[in-house]
Amino acid sequence: MDLTLDFPKVKAIVESYTEKVDSLIESYAGNKEQLISLLQDIQAEFNYLPQDVLVKISQKLDIPLSQVFSVVTFFRAFTLKPRGRHLVTVCLGTACHVKGGQRMVDKMERDYGIKPGETTEDMRFSLETVNCLGCCALGPVVVVDGKYESKMNPDKLDRVLRGYK
Ligand code: FES
């Protein structure tokens, strides 16, 4: 395996990351009341909230870091863990569970090597479970990047996921 680092490439990645973060923070122009919206924008850009970015937000918006973290940990939608490009949510509420929801979780572990709360090594998928999405008649339900897929089975899940690169 070639472990040589391509420094110009790494430098370019770091610079574009910094530029994106700075421009997102600047777009809120010191408006502390917009902290949640800013965090949503950052997460939409990176799929999670990098800790160094939270420190930067705290400094630029002059909000105590403890306050930034308490907002992040309060809302379940925010995550501090790196997430894959696509979020797969399997419903394991009673109705979906009875109809075989667990088979989707087993499939993800068997074929993609991830359990709930984990991300594939290639950062393609992250997996999470929920307890009812409010559409039990359509179960088992799986949501991929916000798109609801109904009456799922492991083969159908395979076909659906093939569309997410
Ligand atoms: S139990 Fe899955 S949608 Fe209700």
Tens of pLDDT, residue by residue over 57-110, are 998 888 999 999 999 999 988 989 888 999 999 999 999 999 999 999 999 999
Do residues 70 and 97 both lie within one domain?
no
CA 93 to ligand 1: nearest atom: 1
Residue 130 CA, ligand 1 centroid: distance in Å: 9
81 within domain boundaries: no
Do residues 91 and 70 both lie within one domain?
no
Residue 16 CA, ligand 1 centroid: distance in Å: 41
152 within domain boundaries: yes
Q: What is the dihedral of CA 39, 45, 49, 53, to 10 degrees?
A: -80
CA 131 to ligand 1: nearest atom: 1
DSSP state at residue 34: G
Q: Token digits for 31? A: 């408006």
Separation CA 47–CA 125 (nearest Å): 11
97 within domain boundaries: yes
Strand positions, DSSP E, the chain: 86-91, 125-130, 142-144, 147-149
Instruction: Report the residue count for the chain.
Output: 165
Separation CA 38–CA 162 (nearest Å): 32
110 within domain boundaries: yes
CA 138 to ligand 1: nearest atom: 3
Q: Provide φ and ψ at 26, rounded to 5°.
A: -60, -35
Task: Assess whether pLDDT exceeds 90 at residue 136.
Answer: yes
Do residues 93 and 120 both lie within one domain?
yes
Task: Assess whether pLDDT exceeds 70 at residue 152.
Answer: yes
pLDDT for the residue 64: 93
Do residues 114 and 68 both lie within one domain?
no
Percent helix, strand and coil across the chain, each to the nearest 5: 50, 10, 40
pTM as predicted: 0.71
Pocket test for ligand 1, best of 89, 90, 91, 151 (most atoms within 8 A of CB): 91
Residue % of the chain over a pLDDT of 90: 58
Mean pLDDT rounded to a whole number for the chain = 89
pLDDT for the residue 1: 47
80 within domain boundaries: no
Domain region containing 46: 7-74
Neighbour count for residue 109 (Cβ, 10 Å): 14
- Among 74, 106, 131, the domain-final residue is 74
Q: Would the CB of 141 count as within 6 Å of ligand 1?
A: yes
Separation CA 25–CA 30 (nearest Å): 8
Separation CA 145–CA 60 (nearest Å): 31
Separation CA 112–CA 162 (nearest Å): 12
